[in-house]
């Protein structure tokens, strides 16, 4: 456990009612909860997030992948992926840099994680009629991937590059990297990790957030956190602040109107709720797009006050209708989802 020794008097001076600035991942339960949420979304059980049949099949595939992540993480806990050298981490800490940089040298153990993940996927494919044969075919293709190509895909995933990220293999590589980084991040002391110079990147690994989430319960009640796409750490950012450019003057919210009706989905403006619960379980407030007219970008924000079981990565993956409509309205997505890589259409 990496931590700074507190000096005499510092413990007493700590504000135990302060907002938790950093929430580290809990890999023992993270991926199993995500798998359950993906199944809910795939089965169209979540009001406010309509899922078309074609996407439903993909979400079920990702649910199987999350189950394999859970089994893999469980077999490697608590320290199956060792932390970097303490001196290297201390240097990063002293210079306000992420202690587990995703853009740096990858731990050799990630390849062991990847191999274990494939074994778990093979077992799931063999036991589940709904997973085969597409899952078995995907695992076979992954096993046949040479080392250089695999590392190239990992580079693309961790650096959010489109080039080099094979859409068919990238989600599975991303899954192994997520397990690796979440296992490392879980070993940190959250009191030791500190914010970066920018609030828009993960203070643990430096990755972009996939989405943000309003949490409920304990000291986190009603506060907004950005959710890291790589290590699943979450860090606090005040509401009505753009998570891309950090401006506050031109932030607004869009959500789907009558999202579960048979009519064509449309956007509606949605006011920020501050820290008020207002009407609970409002389907239009589970998933919203936070748009910014300073940088013309958007990132989704999910609200536990209206659905306790939201998972930022899973719910983001399932709410593609919201992406389409907000993009058509002229806003660019701030960062991608590592579990979905779309092929760009080739120009004729």
- Domains and their CATH numbers in the chain: 20-185 (3.90.1670.10), 209-333 (3.90.1670.10)
153 or 6, which is more confident: 153
**Which tens digits make up the pLDDT trace of 9-39?**
443 344 445 788 999 999 999 999 999 999 9
Q: 317 with 337: CB under 8 angstroms? A: yes
User: What per-residue confidence (pLDDT) applies to 192?
Assistant: 78
**3-class SS letters over the chain:** CCCCCCCCCHHHHCCCCCCCCEECCCHHHHHHHHHHHHHHHHCCCCCCCCCCHHHHHHHHHHHHHHHHHHHHHHHHCCCCCCCCCHHHHHHHHHCCCCCCCCCCCCCCHHHHHHHHHHHHHHHHHHHCCCCCCHHHHHHHHHHCCCHHHHHHHHHHHHHCCCCCCCCCCHHHHHHHHHHHHHHHHCCCCCCCCCCCCCCCCCCCCCCCEEEEEECCCHHHCCCEEEEECCCCCEEECCCCCCCCCCCCCCEEEEEEECCCCCCCCEEEECCCCCCCCCCCCCHHHCEEEEEECCCCEEEEEEECCCCCCCCHHHHHHHCHHHHHHHHHCCCEECCCCCCCCCCCCCCC
What values do phi and psi take at 137, rounded to 5? -65, -40
User: What per-residue confidence (pLDDT) applies to 10?
Assistant: 46
pLDDT band at residue 343 using 50, 70 and 90 as cut-offs = low
Reply yes or no on whether the pLDDT at 2 is more than 90.
no
Reply yes or no on whether the pLDDT at 188 is more than 90.
yes
Mean pLDDT of 151-177: 91
Average pLDDT, the chain: 87
User: What per-residue confidence (pLDDT) applies to 264?
Assistant: 60
User: What per-residue confidence (pLDDT) applies to 143?
Assistant: 95
**Which tens digits make up the pLDDT trace of 113-137?**
999 999 999 999 988 777 667 888 8
pLDDT band at residue 284 using 50, 70 and 90 as cut-offs = confident
**Which tens digits make up the pLDDT trace of 70-106?**
999 999 998 889 999 999 999 988 888 999 999 988 9
Reply yes or no on whether the pLDDT at 204 is more than 70.
yes
């Amino acid at each position: 456990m990496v931590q700074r020794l507190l000096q005499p008097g510092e413990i007493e001076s700590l504000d135990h009612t302060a907002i938790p600035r950093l929430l580290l991942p809990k890999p023992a339960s993270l991926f199993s909860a995500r798998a359950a949420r993906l199944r809910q979304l795939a089965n169209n059980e979540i009001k406010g997030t309509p899922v078309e049949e074609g996407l439903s099949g993909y979400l079920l595939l990702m649910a199987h992948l999350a189950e394999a992540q859970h089994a893999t993480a469980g077999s490697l806990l608590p320290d199956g992926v060792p932390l970097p050298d303490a001196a290297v981490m201390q240097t990063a800490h002293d210079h306000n840099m992420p202690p587990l940089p995703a853009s740096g040298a990858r731990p050799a153990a990630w390849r062991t994680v990847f191999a274990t993940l494939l074994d778990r996927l093979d077992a799931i494919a063999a036991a589940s009629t709904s997973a085969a044969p597409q899952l078995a075919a995907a695992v076979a293709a992954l096993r046949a991937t040479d080392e250089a190509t695999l590392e190239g895909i990992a580079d693309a995933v961790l650096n959010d590059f489109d080039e080099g990220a094979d859409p068919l293999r990238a989600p599975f590589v991303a899954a192994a990297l997520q397990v690796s980084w979440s296992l490392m991040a879980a070993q940190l002391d959250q009191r030791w990790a500190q914010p970066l110079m920018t609030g828009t990147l993960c203070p643990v690994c430096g990755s972009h957030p996939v989405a943000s989430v309003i949490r409920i319960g304990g000291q986190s009640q009603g506060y907004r956190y950005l959710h890291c796409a790589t290590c699943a750490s979450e860090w606090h950012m005040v509401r009505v602040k753009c998570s891309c450019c950090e401006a506050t003057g031109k932030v607004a919210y869009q959500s789907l109107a009558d999202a579960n009706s048979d009519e064509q989905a449309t956007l509606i403006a949605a006011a920020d709720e501050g820290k008020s619960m207002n009407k609970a379980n409002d389907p239009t407030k589970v998933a919203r797009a936070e748009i910014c007219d300073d940088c013309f970008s958007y990132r989704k924000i999910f609200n536990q006050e209206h659905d306790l079981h939201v998972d930022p990565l899973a719910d983001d993956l399932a709410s593609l209708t919201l992406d389409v409509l907000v993009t058509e309205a002229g806003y660019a997505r701030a960062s991608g989802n590592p579990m979905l890589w779309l092929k760009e259409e080739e120009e004729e």
